[in-house]
Amino acid sequence: MTSEVDFYELLEIERTADDATIKSSYRKLAMKYHPDKNAGCKDSEGRFKAISEAYDCLKDPQKRAAYDRFGHDAFRNGGGGGGGQGAGFGDFGDIFENIFGEFMGGQRGQQRGPRRGADLRYDMEITLEDAFQGKSSEITVDVSAQCDSCHGTGAKPGTSAKHCATCAGHGKVRAQQGFFVVERTCPTCHGAGQVIADPCGNCHGEGRVEKTKTLTVNIPPGVDEGTRVRLTGEGEAGARGAPPGDLYIFLHVARHPIFEREGTTLYARAPISFTTASLGGEIHIPGPDGVNHQIKIPAGTQSGRELRQRGAGMPVLQGRGRGDLVVRIEVETPTKLSAKQKALLEQFRETETGECNPQSEGFFQKMKSAWG
């Protein structure tokens, strides 16, 4: 089982994105990770190559159509897309005709034999801490798996399938209608090209049965909401020995009580007392890595100010380095004061000048000017 980053995720776009959106997102990311702007950074170089590969595929309508159907297998020699037919770049016309051949009347795109198993989806919720550290988790899924009795052939053990006499093993039959020849799926073998005279008693000729499988999912550090992990060959088994589909794990990051996330940047709200805001000080923010990050508060900090801690955010997916932690300061006004505290504040108020509060002083001066 392997996990691969989806081309759409690499370009940070939706699967329904149009050509203009794909091009715009690629240009933005290419400028960000271009080797000339990140001299000596292997991570940026690798990311630049990855997004370039993704753009090269998705900008081409034929390649994009094949990728949407077969995933990364569409561009591997001997890949598993399309019912066991190889699908490397060198024979891309075959992929295109596999998809559109039924509409275009082409013969090369007509699939013979059982179809590849369907891809399956599994939604998994993880915590922000899981997304930060990565984790290995076991899941249980109910899928159609290869029949152990007949090893996926659909025929009773000791027997085998035979060529369909109706279509001579082609899976298609032709009929002359005037000047036209109409080709349709064979009604006897239903396109398989073979018939089973003595079906397996366990799977009733399907070559697959329903099973419960326990699978291990390896989640890399840095994943985000909607990240897709692919388990190759763990989808639905193909009928009568056809290749299986894939299982896609869609990750959903649960809401965190402290942090909000934007890419690799973490945001946190931190209420502080007005004395700390006035005199300065420090606070500690516990990160998802379990480390207490010390945030220094400069004297005179105003509510709404953002303090940035470099390298204290989320890890970069499939790369090195981390984003930043941004702490948004909220100055809290005390609501319950003792008699001594009130007396001290009264003394402080008597010493206040416009220099202590330039914003409020300037505001009231503007109000006076506006009203004469």
Question: Per the annotation, where are the binding residues for Zn(2+)?
Answer: 147, 150, 164, 167, 186, 189, 200, 203
Question: Which are the contacts of 114, defined by CB distance < 8 A and separation ≥ 6?
Answer: 83, 192, 207, 238, 239, 240, 241, 242
Count of helix runs (H) and strand runs (E) in the chain: 9, 15
For 327, other C-beta atoms within 10 Å of its C-beta total 22
Per-residue 3-state assignment (H helix, E strand, C coil) for 233-277:
CCCCCCHHHCCCCCEEEEEEECCCCCEEEECCEEEEEEEEEHHHH
Output the DSSP codes for 83-126: TT--B-GGGHHHHHHHHHHHHHT-STT---SSPPPPPEEEEEEE
* Residue 325 one-letter amino acid: L
**CB 66 within 8 Å of CB 74:** yes
Q: What angle, 0 to 180 degrees and rounded to 10, lies between the N-to-C axes of helices 61-70 and 92-104?
A: 90
Backbone angles phi, psi at 18, to 5 degrees: -85, 175
What residues are designated binding site? 147, 150, 164, 167, 186, 189, 200, 203
Yes or no: say if 193 and 170 are a contact pair by the CB < 8 Å rule: yes
The pair of structure tokens assigned to 108 is 């090369």
